[in-house]
Amino acid sequence: MQPSGIRAFFDLVLGMKDVISLGVGEPDFVTPWQIREAGIYSLEQGFTSYTSNKGLYKLRLSISRYLKNRYGLEYCPDEEILITVGVSEGFDLVLRSLLNPHDKVLIPTPCYVSYPALTGLAGGIPVCIDTKHDGFKLTPARLEEAAVKNKPKAIILNYPTNPTGISYSKKELEGLKKIILKHKMICISDEIYADLTYDFEHTPFPTLSGAKEKTIYLSGFSKSYAMTGWRVGFACGPKEVIAAMTKIHQYTIMCVSITSQMAACEALVSGKKSVEEMKREYRRRKELVVAGLNDLGLSCHNPQGAFYVFPCLKGIGRKSMEFAQGLLKDQNVAVVPGTAFGESYEDYLRISYASSFENLKEALARIEKFLNK
Ligand SMILES: Cc1ncc(COP(=O)(O)O)c(C=O)c1O
C-alpha cells in the first residue's frame, strides 16, 4: 500500500506561512453551535460510557426516520444500521466483511484515495474504470465492458464524487443499476456528499427499484454538518452484512464515542438550517471558482455537488505535480496534483472550495500571477 498522495503533498505545506490551502477535503466551517452544545451537554450530564456496539439506539432510530422522511428509504434501526467511525470505518468493515481473497471490486476513477487501498487491504483486487473520457461519469457501456471482463464481486459508487464534484441523475443511476443487477454485483454506495447536491435532487442508490437488497449505503456527518473531527458515520444494508460488519467493529472499535453520537443525534434534530446555509455558501464559492479557473484557461466543468473542482491543465500545457509544486513555492497556494488520484490524472488538479470566499478570490489572483510569470 502506498501512503496517500494527498497527505504526501501536504507534508510540504506544513511549516510554510501565509499558505492558502485548497487541498484538504474538509469544511472550513466549524460544527454548528447547537450540535457542539449537545456534545458538551452530554458530557455535563455524565454520559461518558461505551454505547451498544451498533451505536446508540436513539441515533439509529433518528437515522432510520431521517432516511424514511427524506427519501422514503426504510432501514430497521435494530438490524440494518450500524454507527461507524466515519464513512472511513464503514468502508473498511464492508470490504472486510464481503470480500474473499482476490475478489475484484470495480472502482470508477478518479476516486477518493481510500477505495483502492482499502480494497487491497481486505484481500480484494481493485479494478479501476477511468471516466475521464466520459465527463468523469461512469457509463453503462463502460460498466458492462468492465463487468464482462472482470467478473467483479462488487462496485464502489460515490456521488457527488470526490475529487470531481460530478453527480448522477436518477435516470443515469437506473442505467448503471441495470448492469449492476445483471452481473450480480454488490453496490457499495458512498453518498457522504448527498446533502451538498446543487442542481437536482439527490437519489440514493438503494431507492432504485430492486437495488436495496444489493446495496450497502454509507453516509455520515463529516461533510454536511461540518463534523469531520467528531468521526461519526453510518452503514445501512441487508441485516446479514450489517451483522458481519458489526462483528469486526465489535472487536476492533467497540463503539463510536458517545459524545459524538449524542452530537450527531442533535444534528438530525436541528442541523437542517445550518446545512442549507453552508450549502448556499458553497454554491456561491463554486460559481466564483469555476468562472475564475475557466477565465484563466484551466478548463473546468461545473460540478453538481460536494466542494471540489477538477480543472484540466492541458490548455496551458502544464503537468499536475510540477504545476502544484510551482504554485505552492511561488505563490503559497496549495492544491492537490491530479496524480494523487492515479498516474493517468497528470493533466488535472483537485481544488477544494471549502475555503472562505476571500481566500478563494486571493487564490485565483495568485494563480493568475503564477500563470503570467
Ligand atoms: C468520498 C469520501 N468518502 C468518505 C470520506 C471519509 O469521510 P469520514 O470523515 O466520514 O470518514 C471522505 C473524506 O474526504 C470522502 O471524500
pLDDT tens, residue by residue, 129-168: 999 999 999 999 999 999 999 999 999 999 999 999 999 9
Confidence of residue 351 (pLDDT cuts 50, 70, 90): very high
Q: Could you read off the pLDDT of 102-122 as tens digits, one per residue?
A: 999 999 999 999 999 999 999
Residue for grid cell 510569470: 373
Are the beta carbons of 196 and 305 closer than 8 angstroms?
yes
Confidence of residue 335 (pLDDT cuts 50, 70, 90): very high
Residue 91 phi, psi (nearest 5): -65, -50
Quote the pLDDT of residue 12: 74
Q: What is the CA radius of gyration of the chain?
A: 20
Burial of 140 (0-12, 13-18, 19+ CB in 10 A): middle
Confidence of residue 343 (pLDDT cuts 50, 70, 90): confident
Classify 33-270 by CATH class.
Answer: alpha beta
Question: How many contiguous H segments (helices) and E segments (strands) does the chain have?
Answer: 12, 12
User: In this structure, how many other beta carbons lie within 10 angstroms of the beta carbon of residue 133?
Assistant: 8
* CA dihedral sign of residues 137, 142, 147, 149: negative
The minimum-distance atom of ligand 1 relative to the CA of 306 is 16
Q: Could you read off the pLDDT of 258-303 as tens digits, one per residue?
A: 999 999 999 999 999 999 999 999 999 999 999 999 999 999 999 9
Quote the pLDDT of residue 40: 98
Quote the pLDDT of residue 25: 87
Quote the pLDDT of residue 373: 86
> Where are the domain boundaries for CATH 3.90.1150.10 in the chain?
5-31+273-372
112 Cβ inside 6 Å of ligand 1: yes
158 Cβ inside 6 Å of ligand 1: yes
List of E strands, 17-65: 20-21
27 Cβ inside 6 Å of ligand 1: no
Average confidence (pLDDT) over 46-52:
98
Three-state secondary structure string covering 108-128: EECCCCHHHHHHHHCCCEEEE
Q: Could you read off the pLDDT of 169-203 as tens digits, one per residue?
A: 999 999 999 999 999 999 999 999 999 999 899 99
Closest CA to 309 of 291, 329, 333, 328: 291
CA distance 248 to 122: 12
Residue 18 pLDDT greater than 90, yes or no: no
Average confidence (pLDDT) over 330-337:
94
Q: Dump the DSSP string for 68-100.
A: HHHH-----TTTSEEEESHHHHHHHHHHHHHPP
Burial of 71 (0-12, 13-18, 19+ CB in 10 A): middle
CA of 88 to the centre of ligand 1 (A): 6
Residue 309 pLDDT greater than 90, yes or no: yes
> Where are the domain boundaries for CATH 3.40.640.10 in the chain?
33-270
Q: Which three cell numbers stand for residue 246?
A: 458489526
Average confidence (pLDDT) over 79-92:
98
Closest CA to 345 of 125, 100, 164: 164
Residue 9 pLDDT greater than 90, yes or no: no
165 Cβ inside 6 Å of ligand 1: no
* Count of CA atoms in the C-beta half-sphere (13 A) of 168: 26
Report the side by side order of strands in the sheet with 336-337: 308-309, 349-352, 336-337
Domain spanning 5-31+273-372: CATH superfamily: Aspartate Aminotransferase, domain 1 (3.90.1150.10)
Residue for grid cell 464481486: 153
CA of 26 to the centre of ligand 1 (A): 9
Average confidence (pLDDT) over 229-254:
98
CA of 179 to the centre of ligand 1 (A): 26
Confidence of residue 13 (pLDDT cuts 50, 70, 90): confident
Percent of the chain with pLDDT over 70: 99
Closest CA to 310 of 322, 294, 325: 294
169 Cβ inside 6 Å of ligand 1: no
The minimum-distance atom of ligand 1 relative to the CA of 25 is 14
Mean pLDDT, the chain, rounded, equals: 96
pTM of the model: 0.96
The answer for residues whose C-beta is within 8 angstroms of residue 118's C-beta and 6 or more apart is 91, 92, 95
* CA dihedral sign of residues 207, 223, 95, 10: positive
* Count of CA atoms in the C-beta half-sphere (13 A) of 71: 21
Quote the pLDDT of residue 14: 77
CA distance 69 to 54: 22
Burial of 79 (0-12, 13-18, 19+ CB in 10 A): middle
End-to-end Cα separation, the chain, in angstroms: 38
Quote the pLDDT of residue 16: 83
SS3 368: helix
Residue 5 pLDDT greater than 80, yes or no: no
122 Cβ inside 6 Å of ligand 1: no
The minimum-distance atom of ligand 1 relative to the CA of 228 is 9
80-84, 173-177, 287-291, 328-332: least confident range: 328-332
Are the beta carbons of 214 and 187 closer than 8 angstroms?
yes
17-26, 196-205, 240-249: least confident range: 17-26
Mutate to test the pocket of ligand 1, among 31, 188, 190, 223 (most ligand atoms within 8 A of CB): 223
The minimum-distance atom of ligand 1 relative to the CA of 85 is 11
